[in-house]
Amino acid sequence: MIVIFFLIFFNFLLLLNLTYISQYFNIFDFPDGKLKLHKKKIPTIGGLILIINFTIIFFYQVVFVKEFLSFDIKKFENFELFSLLILIYGHLFLGLYDDKHNLTASKKNFFFNRNYTYINSFKQKLNHH
């Protein structure tokens, strides 16, 4: 219950400072007139806020509840659990990098496919437990 109150408070602080955080890290999405039709720059750190929340909940459940997404943590090695986090963070940082540097579709596709390959192998490992 304390974790829920902490997350609510934490998210409230993040939302109040959304523009400041985006300015500090210079993470904005600018309109291009083609695909991005908004009129002015907008912060693109919503994914970062989601991943921070996910990580807090993940560690809380793994450390205190000993369960995550209805899977018994005792069946998995630490490597498997943290590889899941690394994959999720990989997608996040690839998205943030793309927002700043406009990766080509083929480069994004390569990195996303590589990550999905790892996710599938992780999923197959889960199914064998």
Q: Please report, for the chain, the start and end positions of each structural domain, with discontinuous segments joined by +.
A: 1-73, 76-129
Spatial separation of the C-alpha atoms in residues 55 and 42, rounded to whole Å: 25
Q: What is the mean pLDDT of residues 45-61?
A: 82
Spatial separation of the C-alpha atoms in residues 111 and 91, rounded to whole Å: 9
pLDDT for 53: 84
Q: Reply yes or no on whether the pLDDT at 120 is more than 80.
A: no
Cα distances (Å, whole numbers) of residue 38 to 35, 43, 48, 100, 122: 9, 12, 21, 17, 38
How much is the pTM?
Answer: 0.65
User: In angstroms, what is the C-alpha Rg of the chain?
Assistant: 18
Structure tokens of 79? 């490597």
pLDDT for 26: 84
pLDDT for 113: 82
Q: Reply yes or no on whether the pLDDT at 97 is more than 80.
A: yes
